[in-house]
Structure 1
Amino acid sequence: MKIGGTSGGIHDVMALRQEILKRSQALQEVRSGTETRPTPTGATGQVAEFSDTLHNAMQEVSAVQKRSGDMQAAYERGEVTDVAKVMLARQEAGVAFEATIQVRNKLLSAYQDILRMGS
């Protein structure tokens, strides 16, 4: 049985999946090993407020999701031919969103703990 005009079929799909996983792992290693972020400061040189830091993080997640959507749309139009890049962008957006949800859950839990302290 041929899939997509190739005789490899499922083997090609599995090889592509492995390549995507390798690229994702390499991306994570590069980001965690070499990326250093400076301490965010305001215009007066003071450390940024927590809300500013949270807002900036949300904007970054939004940008990652937008880039992923743009790449997917470009792939659907035939402008991008590397499906691995599209899948990697989707995976990165998914991880960023999941991390955002986890941070939200931890913040909510901490807020509830603080409310219980007063009782």
Structure 2
Amino acid sequence: MVVGAAGVSDALKSVASAAGMASATSGAAGGPPFGGMLRSMVDQTATLDQKASDAITGLLNGSGVEVHDAMIAGQKADMAFQLALQVRNKAVAAYQQMMTMQF
């Protein structure tokens, strides 16, 4: 279902690490909350993708997985992927907008 999750996961991880470095250099006492949120979102997306893959494999193997369970797992993974993609797009757009600012 979610074919390009690895590419978006890599992109989100790089954005998260950049956000974490920015927070660390600015002296944030509580750590990088934005970077942590992105890492958590990437991990949750990967987990949902793995569950969907397992459900679809179980359905195809005939190991007792119901069709509706596989479909629900696939839709959850797809929605998580779409959310991650939109967050990535907004983060990239915000970064590009900041880079074009003149002081």
TM-score over 0.5 for the pair: yes
What amino acid is the match of 1:109? A
Question: Who is 2:74 aligned against?
Answer: 90
Question: Who is 1:23 aligned against?
Answer: none
Report the structure, 1 or 2, having the larger helix content.
2
Question: Is 1:50 equivalent to 2:20 in the alignment?
Answer: no
Question: Is 1:72 equivalent to 2:73 in the alignment?
Answer: no
Q: Secondary structure at the match of 1:80?
A: coil
Larger Rg: 1
Question: Who is 2:100 aligned against?
Answer: 116
Query: Post-superposition, which runs of at least 4 consecutive aligned residues in structure 1 deviate over 2 A?
Result: 45-49
2:59–2:70 Cα contact (<8 Å) kept:
yes
CA distance 1:80–1:118, change in 2 (3 Å) = farther
1:71–1:80 Cα contact (<8 Å) kept:
no
Within 1, Cα distance between the matches of 2:73 and 2:65? 14
Higher relative CO (Cα under 8 Å, sequence separation at least 6) belongs to 2
Residues 54-101 of structure 1 deviation map (CA, whole Å, 9 limit, x = unaligned): 111100000000000001101111013410110010011111101111
Out of 42, 59, 63, the residue aligned to residue 43 of structure 2 is 59
Equivalenced residue count is: 75
Q: In structure 1, list runs of 5 or more residues that go unmatched.
A: 1-44
TM-score (norm 1): 0.58
Within 1, Cα distance between the matches of 2:91 and 2:64? 39
CA-based RMSD of the aligned residues comes to: 1.8
1:68–1:86 Cα contact (<8 Å) kept:
yes
